[in-house]
Amino acid sequence: MQIYPAIDIRAGNCVRLHQGDYAKETVYGEDPAAMARHWISQGATWLHLVDLDGARAGEPVNTSAIGKIIAAAGGVPCQVGGGLRSERHIADTLAMGARRVILGTRALDDPAWAEQMTRAHPGRIVLGLDARDGMVATQGWLTSSALSVSEVLRRVADWPLAAIVFTDISRDGTLSGCNVPATRAVAEQSRVEVIASGGIGTMADILAVRDADLPGCIVGRALYDGRVDLAEAIKSCG
């Protein structure tokens, strides 16, 4: 199972939010590129990067910081999300060196456009599916949509996606454990791999994702707070 250390960027800093609430921010460092190098030194073979300002603004904001992270990663692949809502945003991010880009809000608001992007960049687009109580949220988690998770999965069934990142917003940043049953249900409805996200707080949580035969999980606050040792987690899931 692949473990993706999360590097969330706001105002150029490495931060974590509690349940996606921009008013509940913890700053973990002023040099996200140094953080990337640290996780790679612990064995990370993928990085998950999110431009939080971009997610709220609807366009990339922390482009410089993300570019520095990708450069610092030295070939370790990065998937990048947050505010990527135009063809130019996608092209620029891939040209910067991102292996995959994550589409969220616009993919849900304009599925015809999103499908076109997946066909223009097959295997390079990840769908970010963020949900609360089975309903999808958009606009940097600030807006609840009228779409159910199942409805979205039916809509994207034939798209050449690289993966789906499924986040239970109610768990994100809480360290209360990943919603494995909901993530497993998404995986059973999807033809592409589904990456678990939100709530992982202990090694036991990571092993629960592994034991559910899910291919990957994103780990954020638990790494930054020292609750999970990345090298140990990678060894346990390798």
Scanning 102-224, the segments in alpha helix (DSSP H) are: 105-109, 111-120, 149-155, 180-188, 203-211, 221-224
For residue 141, the model assigns a pLDDT of: 54
* Whole-structure pTM value: 0.94
Report the run of H or E that residue 78 belongs to, with start and end.
strand 78-81
CA distance 109 to 104: 9
What Å distances lie between residue 108 and 35, 48, 129, CA to CA? 31, 21, 9
What domains appear along the chain, each with residue ranges and CATH number? Answer: 2-237 (3.20.20.70)
- pLDDT of 146 over the 80 cut: no
The pLDDT value given to residue 139: 67
User: Would you say 178 and 187 are in contact if contact means Cβ atoms under 8 Å apart?
Assistant: no
Q: What is the pLDDT of residues 96-136, one digit of tens each?
A: 999 999 998 889 889 999 999 999 999 999 999 989 888 89
Which tens digit of pLDDT belongs to each residue from 58-92?
Answer: 999 999 999 999 999 999 999 999 999 999 999 99
Identify any residues that bridge with 78 across adjacent strands, giving them in sequence order. 47
pLDDT at position 238 is: 80
The type of residue at 114 is: A
- Number of Cβ within 10 Å of residue 64's Cβ equals 11
Pairing state between β 125-132 and 163-168:
parallel
Residue 166: per-residue pLDDT: 96
DSSP, residue by residue, 132-149: ETTEEEETTTTEEEEEEH
Q: CA–CA separation, 165 vs 70, rounded Å?
A: 20
**210-238 pLDDT tens trace:** 999 999 999 999 999 999 999 999 999 98
183 and 166 Cβ atoms separated by less than 8 Å: yes
Q: What is the pLDDT of residues 148-206, one digit of tens each?
A: 999 999 999 999 999 999 998 888 878 889 999 999 999 999 999 999 999 999 999 99
147 pLDDT band (50/70/90 cuts)? confident
Handedness of CA 150, 107, 172, 165 (dihedral sign): positive
Residue identified by tokens 């999980």 is 217
Query: Averaged over 11-38, what is the pLDDT?
Result: 94
Cα–Cα distance, 193 to 164 (Å, whole number): 6
Residue 26: enclosing H or E segment and its boundaries? strand 21-29
Q: How far is residue 149's CA from residue 184's CA, in Å, rounded to a whole number?
A: 13
Read off the pLDDT of residues 28-50 as tens digits, 9 standing for 90 and up: 999 999 999 999 999 999 999 99
From the centroid of its chain, how far is CA 15? 14
What does the pLDDT average to over 18-22?
84
Residues tagged active-site: 8, 130
pLDDT at 144: 64
